[in-house]
A and B are shown apart, each in its own frame.
Chain A
């Protein structure tokens, strides 16, 4: 798939944009892939996220409807009583981007867990959704390190796809370790004829990563796919079996906190640089509400301060995070 085929306009400033749903398809139990298209969107990096508005566009809610026909019944309730409306936006990592024929396509892979994500899963192609972003700092690609390892779990897997593409473009050797509860909750496609190693050894078996020639190991809690157990175990074994020096490799991880903590600790013990994409409940995503705090080590008197996941992060250096 050609990622760049002709330049699309790049919006200069971040903001709220109206996107059209190009596709919204189930991937596996509770997981969906949504492709959004819009005429322009600012430059993005892997690890950044967008805030989706999980309700009809404001104009449909009568945002500008401040008048009513003389003698008619005022439509007071229209903006108030929308079915299953969420007020705040919902944050989602970018799982991919294509700039093509003067249009931008953005991928989001999401799991239905509550009101907002269920609303999203009912969106039909050609419907509109408001998207705010891009938000956050994104993963840094280090020129001095030829190898990269991706460790993703659950809804931390989507940003790893976008990152795999960026790292490939940067000419890196990449291996991926992905974890899920069970095979039916694994949101990516398996290559037909590909072999998912039960020992958790990376092989080209996951279609979305094989596209970038990234060998991938899969682990599930119940052993229904790949290695049985936590993905950090085969990751650690592979790291120690390999000949990668700490100077050559950088590890990127996104997923449940216990997983990221384990991955971070494994890297810190071995002096390997490691970046984690953190998740926090967010109200704004723009650095104003101060809700999404992460405890980060610093040289202040008490040795740490609160940083904002949405603007200082979501990507932090593993060694800086205080769990």
Chain B
């Protein structure tokens, strides 16, 4: 299956490998921007993707924060959803069958307030056939406890990564890093050392919008996470830094995200060192952008006489 498919009929070979999970192409959904897949059924043929990444799942259902939860800012948006999700039980019962029908590798993003919560969710997911990996969300800026507290201190990253690693006997462990640190390579190193088999970066930046008329924060939560095109140049830099400092030598693939809208954005991340590409905020504008990005990468490779996407991973000129 993974043989060279770069003949003229099929175009360049877009296949990549995330920690031993083969993907038809690097494109995937970013957690929290694609529901549990069914929502987009009319809008994009998700079967065209490489993998599907779910909204964060917690042990118990979460209602999330009060309204308002989002605000658009220049070239981006803030969100403070507060990890609203159906909880593990309903996820297993109702959402897994839907995900199974996609016939794609599924990575389930997991979150919690205690390490025991994360471990319990990871345990339950380990036996589910369509789930090929868990993405550890230690970087959500929008909940009071849990989430980001685990992601900004290397010792906490060690504790949680090593604990969840033990619960992942079948599933691959992907650790999703927070950009809200002074050096993201330090976080990456801790995660890889304690068992991360792939790294996702970046989650949103903690940010704030204030309404001068009311003198109050716009979001009910006060702060929110900044995503979208505004963060892309920082994300590209962080991917490059993690790739050169940690991932390349450790042979750990990076799933990159942060403001990808168009194929040219995706190419920046590939050249910086990403193996997988996740699209979040841009899905809100048009879920079908995933397919356009995939095709645009193929066109770029063809135009440059390249036969495999893998050949441009990390291949920027220094």
Residues in chain A within 8 A of chain B (CB atoms): 13-16, 53, 58, 61-67, 79-80, 85-89, 130, 132, 280-291, 293, 305-306, 311
Given contacts A58-B262, A64-B296, A80-B229, contact A88 B79 (CB under 8 A): no
Chain B residues lying within 8 Å of A86, measured Cβ to Cβ, are 72
Q: How far is the CA of A62 from the CA of B263 in the complex (A)?
A: 10
- Residue from A62, A132, A285, A288 within 8 A of B35 (CB atoms): A288
Contact with A along B284-303 (1 / 0, CB 8 A): 11111100100010011001
B70 proximal to A (CB < 8 A): yes
Instruction: Indicate if the CB atoms of B299 and A64 lie closer than 8 Å.
Output: yes
Chain B residues lying within 8 Å of A306, measured Cβ to Cβ, are 63-64, 84
19 A-B residue contacts at CB 8 Å? A15-B43, A15-B288, A58-B262, A58-B292, A63-B264, A63-B296, A66-B300, A79-B264, A87-B77, A88-B77, A89-B284, A280-B67, A283-B79, A287-B39, A288-B39, A289-B32, A291-B68, A293-B64, A306-B84
Chain A residues lying within 8 Å of B288, measured Cβ to Cβ, are 15-16
Contact with A along B72-90 (1 / 0, CB 8 A): 1001110101001000000
Q: How far is the CA of A146 from the CA of B299 in the complex (A)?
A: 58
Q: How far is the CA of A67 from the CA of B304 in the complex (A)?
A: 9
CB proximity of A17 to chain B, nearest CB, Å: 10
Q: How far is the CA of A132 from the CA of B40 in the complex (A)?
A: 12
- Residue from A64, A285, A290 within 8 A of B263 (CB atoms): A64
Q: How far is the CA of A220 from the CA of B192 in the complex (A)?
A: 65
Given contacts A64-B262, A66-B300, contact A87 B81 (CB under 8 A): no
Chain B residues lying within 8 Å of A284, measured Cβ to Cβ, are 33, 283-284
- Of A64, A89, A305, which is in contact with the most chain B CB atoms at under 10 Å from its CB? A64
CB proximity of B198 to chain A, nearest CB, Å: 23
Query: How many contacts between A and B, using CB within 8 angstroms?
Result: 122
Instruction: Indicate if the CB atoms of A67 and B43 lie closer than 8 Å.
Output: no
Instruction: Indicate if the CB atoms of B285 and A53 lie closer than 8 Å.
Output: yes
Instruction: Indicate if the CB atoms of A289 and B285 lie closer than 8 Å.
Output: no
CB proximity of B313 to chain A, nearest CB, Å: 16
Q: How far is the CA of A64 from the CA of B76 in the complex (A)?
A: 21
The closest CB in chain B to the CB of A295 belongs to B67
Q: How far is the CA of A125 from the CA of B280 in the complex (A)?
A: 33
Given contacts A15-B43, A87-B285, A89-B284, contact A287 B35 (CB under 8 A): yes
The closest CB in chain B to the CB of A76 belongs to B264
Instruction: Indicate if the CB atoms of B286 and A283 lie closer than 8 Å.
Output: no
Chain B residues lying within 8 Å of A85, measured Cβ to Cβ, are 75
B267 proximal to A (CB < 8 A): yes
Task: Beyond A61-B262, A64-B262, list 8 extra A-B contacts (CB 8 Å).
Answer: A16-B43, A53-B286, A62-B264, A66-B263, A80-B75, A87-B281, A284-B33, A293-B69
Given contacts A286-B287, A290-B84, contact A65 B76 (CB under 8 A): no
Chain B residues lying within 8 Å of A281, measured Cβ to Cβ, are 68, 70-71
Q: How far is the CA of A288 from the CA of B33 in the complex (A)?
A: 6
The closest CB in chain A to the CB of B304 belongs to A67
Q: How far is the CA of A318 from the CA of B179 in the complex (A)?
A: 43
Chain B residues lying within 8 Å of A64, measured Cβ to Cβ, are 262-263, 292, 296, 299
B42 proximal to A (CB < 8 A): yes
Chain A residues lying within 8 Å of B71, measured Cβ to Cβ, are 281
Chain A residues lying within 8 Å of B191, measured Cβ to Cβ, are none
- Residue from A53, A63, A285, A290 within 8 A of B69 (CB atoms): A290
B274 proximal to A (CB < 8 A): no
CB proximity of B315 to chain A, nearest CB, Å: 15
